Structure 1
Amino acid sequence: MKKALLSAACLGTTTVLAQVKDSLQTKNVDEVVMTASRKKENIKEVPSSITVVGEKQIQSQLTVNSDITSILQYTVPSLGTNSGQTSNSGQTLRGRQVLVLIDGIPQSTPLRNGARDLRTIDPSAIERIEVIKGASSIYGNGADGGIINYITKRNKTDKKISGTSQIGFTGQPYGGTLGVRASQLLSGKINKLDYTLSLAYERTGYTKDGDGVLISPTYSIAKMDNYNGLLKIGYDINENQRIEASYIGYSSRSDLNVGLKTGKYSITPTSGEGIGKGLETTPQGTPKNHNIRVSYDNKNLFAGTSLNINLYYQDFKTVYGYSDTFFNGGQSNVISQKKGARFNLDTQLWNSPNSQGEIIYGADILNDETVQKLEDGRFWTPDMSMTNIAPFVLAKIDLFKKFTIKGGLRYENIKVNVDDFNTLSTLKSDGTFTQSIPVTGGKLSYNALVGNIGVRYNIEPYINLFGSFSQAYSINELGRILRTSTSETIKSLETKPIIVNNYELGATGQLSSWLNYELTSYVSTSKLGASFVQSPDRALMIQRSPEIVYGVEGFLHFTPAKWIQFGGSYSWMEGITSVKDDGDYSAKINNSRISAPKVLAYVQARPIPTLSIGLDMLHSFQQNRFEPNAKTGLYAYGEGYVPEYTVFNFKSSYEVNNNWRVSLGIENLFNKVYQPAISWWTARDSDFTNALGLRGTFMIEYKF
Structure 2
Amino acid sequence: MKKIILPVAVLAAITVTAQQKDSLQVKDVDEVVLTASRKKESIKEVPSSVTVVSRKQIQSQLTVNSDITNILQYTVPSLATSSGMTTNSGQTLRGRQVLVLIDGIPQSTPLRNGSRDIRSIDPSVIERIEVIKGATSIYGNGSDGGIINYITRRAGSDRRISGQSQIGVTGQLYGGTLGIRASQFLTGKITPKFDYAASLAYERTGYMKDADGVNLSPTSSPAKMDNYNGMLKFGYNLNDNQRIEASYIGYASKSDLDLGLKTGKYGVTPTIGEGSSKNQETTPQGTPRNHNFKISYDNRNLWKGTALNISLYLQDFRTVYGYSDTFLNGGQSNVISKKKGARFNFDTELWNTRNSQGEVIYGADILNDKTVQKLEDGRYWTPDMDMTNIAPFMLVKIDLFKKLILKGGLRYENIKVKVGDFNTLSTIKNDGTFTKSIFVKGGDLEYNALVGNIGFRYNFNPQINLFGSFSQSYSINELGRILRTSTAETINQLETKPIIVNNYELGATGQITRWLNYEITSYVSTSKLGATFVQSPDRSLMIQRAPEVVYGVEGFLQFSPLNWINFGGSYSWMEGITSPKDDGDYSTKINNSRISAPKVLAYVQVRPVRGLSVGLDMLHAFEQDRFQPNAKTGLYTYGEGKVPEYTVFNFKSSYEINKNWRVAAGIENLFNRSYQPAIAWWAARDSDFVNALGTRGTLMVEYRF
**TM-score of the pair, normalised by structure 1:** 0.97
SS of equivalent residue, structure 2 residue 61: helix
C-alpha deviation, 1:22, in angstroms: 5.7
- Give the structure 2 partner of residue 470 of structure 1: 471
Worse-matched range after superposition: 29-38 or 616-625:
29-38
1:81 aligns with 2:62: no
Tell me, in whole angstroms, the C-alpha distance in 2 between the residues paired with 1:299 and 1:135: 30
C-alpha deviation, 1:446, in angstroms: 0.3
Q: 1:154 to 1:15 in 2, by over 3 A?
A: farther
- Give the structure 1 partner of residue 562 of structure 2: 561
Report 1:58-97 matches (<5 A).
58-97=58-97
Tell me, in whole angstroms, the C-alpha distance in 1 between the residues paired with 2:273 and 2:549: 40
Tell me, in whole angstroms, the C-alpha distance in 1 between the residues paired with 2:395 and 2:28: 27
SS of equivalent residue, structure 2 residue 347: strand
Structure 1 runs, 4 residues or longer, greater than 6 Å off: none
The answer to whether the 8 Å contact 2:163/2:186 transfers is yes
- Give the structure 2 partner of residue 365 of structure 1: 366
1:458 aligns with 2:468: no
SS of equivalent residue, structure 1 residue 287: strand
SS of equivalent residue, structure 1 residue 330: coil
Tell me, in whole angstroms, the C-alpha distance in 1 between the residues paired with 2:466 and 2:27: 24
TM-superposition CA deviations, 1:591-644 (whole Å, max 9, x none): 000000000000011111110000000000000000000000000000000000
C-alpha deviation, 1:277, in angstroms: 4.7
Q: 1:29 to 1:403 in 2, by over 3 A?
A: closer
Amino acid paired to 1:47: P
Tell me, in whole angstroms, the C-alpha distance in 2 between the residues paired with 1:27 and 1:150: 18
SS of equivalent residue, structure 1 residue 538: coil
The answer to whether the 8 Å contact 2:17/2:556 transfers is no
- Give the structure 2 partner of residue 5 of structure 1: none
Q: 1:461 to 1:180 in 2, by over 3 A?
A: same
TM-superposition CA deviations, 1:407-437 (whole Å, max 9, x none): 0000000000000000001111110111110
1:163 aligns with 2:160: no
TM-superposition CA deviations, 1:662-702 (whole Å, max 9, x none): 00000000000000000000000000000000000000000
The answer to whether the 8 Å contact 1:258/1:278 transfers is no
Worse-matched range after superposition: 507-516 or 280-289:
507-516
The answer to whether the 8 Å contact 2:171/2:177 transfers is yes
The answer to whether the 8 Å contact 2:19/2:555 transfers is no
Amino acid paired to 2:120: T
Tell me, in whole angstroms, the C-alpha distance in 2 between the residues paired with 1:55 and 1:410: 32
Amino acid paired to 1:70: N
Tell me, in whole angstroms, the C-alpha distance in 1 between the residues paired with 2:669 and 2:18: 25
Tell me, in whole angstroms, the C-alpha distance in 1 between the residues paired with 2:170 and 2:30: 35
Report 1:77-226 matches (<5 A).
77-190=77-190, 191-226=192-227
- Give the structure 2 partner of residue 675 of structure 1: 676
The answer to whether the 8 Å contact 2:387/2:417 transfers is yes
Tell me, in whole angstroms, the C-alpha distance in 2 between the residues paired with 1:27 and 1:393: 28
Report 1:532-543 matches (<5 A).
532-543=533-544
C-alpha deviation, 1:351, in angstroms: 1.0
The answer to whether the 8 Å contact 2:454/2:469 transfers is yes
Report 1:457-606 matches (<5 A).
457-606=458-607
Amino acid paired to 1:377: G
- Give the structure 2 partner of residue 10 of structure 1: none
SS of equivalent residue, structure 2 residue 221: coil
C-alpha deviation, 1:391, in angstroms: 0.2
TM-superposition CA deviations, 1:518-540 (whole Å, max 9, x none): 11000000000000000111111
Tell me, in whole angstroms, the C-alpha distance in 1 between the residues paired with 2:38 and 2:182: 33
- Give the structure 1 partner of residue 626 of structure 2: 625
TM-superposition CA deviations, 1:328-355 (whole Å, max 9, x none): 1100010000000000000000111221
Tell me, in whole angstroms, the C-alpha distance in 1 between the residues paired with 2:159 and 2:47: 38
C-alpha deviation, 1:276, in angstroms: 4.0
C-alpha deviation, 1:27, in angstroms: 11
Tell me, in whole angstroms, the C-alpha distance in 2 between the residues paired with 1:210 and 1:277: 26
Tell me, in whole angstroms, the C-alpha distance in 1 between the residues paired with 2:678 and 2:536: 22
TM-superposition CA deviations, 1:9-65 (whole Å, max 9, x none): xxxxx99956x43699x9966221110000000100000000000000000000100
Amino acid paired to 2:689: F
The answer to whether the 8 Å contact 1:502/1:524 transfers is yes
TM-superposition CA deviations, 1:273-318 (whole Å, max 9, x none): 1234574510000000000000000000001000000000000000
Tell me, in whole angstroms, the C-alpha distance in 2 between the residues paired with 1:280 and 1:396: 58
Amino acid paired to 1:308: N
Amino acid paired to 1:132: I
Worse-matched range after superposition: 690-699 or 189-198:
189-198
TM-superposition CA deviations, 1:567-601 (whole Å, max 9, x none): 00000000000011001101000000000000000
C-alpha deviation, 1:462, in angstroms: 1.4
Residue correspondences, number: 689
SS of equivalent residue, structure 1 residue 491: helix
- Give the structure 2 partner of residue 327 of structure 1: 328
Tell me, in whole angstroms, the C-alpha distance in 1 between the residues paired with 2:23 and 2:328: 51
| RMSD over equivalenced CA pairs, Å | 1.4
Tell me, in whole angstroms, the C-alpha distance in 2 between the residues paired with 1:280 and 1:411: 48
1:31 aligns with 2:31: yes
SS of equivalent residue, structure 1 residue 479: helix
Tell me, in whole angstroms, the C-alpha distance in 1 between the residues paired with 2:417 and 2:701: 50
SS of equivalent residue, structure 1 residue 44: helix
The answer to whether the 8 Å contact 1:367/1:386 transfers is yes
C-alpha deviation, 1:656, in angstroms: 1.0
Tell me, in whole angstroms, the C-alpha distance in 1 between the residues paired with 2:125 and 2:513: 36
The answer to whether the 8 Å contact 1:519/1:553 transfers is yes
Tell me, in whole angstroms, the C-alpha distance in 2 between the residues paired with 1:127 and 1:397: 30
Q: 1:148 to 1:283 in 2, by over 3 A?
A: same
- Give the structure 2 partner of residue 7 of structure 1: none
C-alpha deviation, 1:508, in angstroms: 1.1
C-alpha deviation, 1:227, in angstroms: 0.3
Q: 1:15 to 1:700 in 2, by over 3 A?
A: farther
C-alpha deviation, 1:402, in angstroms: 0.8
C-alpha deviation, 1:513, in angstroms: 2.1
Tell me, in whole angstroms, the C-alpha distance in 2 between the residues paired with 1:412 and 1:22: 37
Tell me, in whole angstroms, the C-alpha distance in 1 between the residues paired with 2:28 and 2:512: 20
Amino acid paired to 1:61: Q
Unaligned runs of 5+ in 1: 1-13
SS of equivalent residue, structure 2 residue 99: strand
- Give the structure 1 partner of residue 11 of structure 2: none
Tell me, in whole angstroms, the C-alpha distance in 2 between the residues paired with 1:553 and 1:623: 17
- Give the structure 1 partner of residue 48 of structure 2: 48
The answer to whether the 8 Å contact 1:200/1:228 transfers is yes
Tell me, in whole angstroms, the C-alpha distance in 2 between the residues paired with 1:658 and 1:463: 38
Amino acid paired to 1:222: A
- Give the structure 2 partner of residue 8 of structure 1: none
Amino acid paired to 2:369: D
The answer to whether the 8 Å contact 1:279/1:322 transfers is no
SS of equivalent residue, structure 1 residue 683: coil
Tell me, in whole angstroms, the C-alpha distance in 1 between the residues paired with 2:205 and 2:274: 18
Amino acid paired to 2:58: I
Amino acid paired to 1:671: N
C-alpha deviation, 1:512, in angstroms: 1.9
**TM-score of the pair, normalised by structure 2:** 0.96
C-alpha deviation, 1:481, in angstroms: 0.4
Tell me, in whole angstroms, the C-alpha distance in 2 between the residues paired with 1:29 and 1:327: 58
Tell me, in whole angstroms, the C-alpha distance in 2 between the residues paired with 1:55 and 1:579: 43
Tell me, in whole angstroms, the C-alpha distance in 1 between the residues paired with 2:160 and 2:584: 65
The answer to whether the 8 Å contact 1:23/1:56 transfers is no
SS of equivalent residue, structure 2 residue 44: helix
C-alpha deviation, 1:511, in angstroms: 1.8
The answer to whether the 8 Å contact 1:15/1:52 transfers is no
Amino acid paired to 1:151: I
The answer to whether the 8 Å contact 1:637/1:682 transfers is yes
Q: Percent identity?
A: 79
Tell me, in whole angstroms, the C-alpha distance in 1 between the residues paired with 2:509 and 2:472: 23
Q: 1:27 to 1:403 in 2, by over 3 A?
A: closer
Tell me, in whole angstroms, the C-alpha distance in 1 between the residues paired with 2:217 and 2:124: 27
- Give the structure 2 partner of residue 379 of structure 1: 380
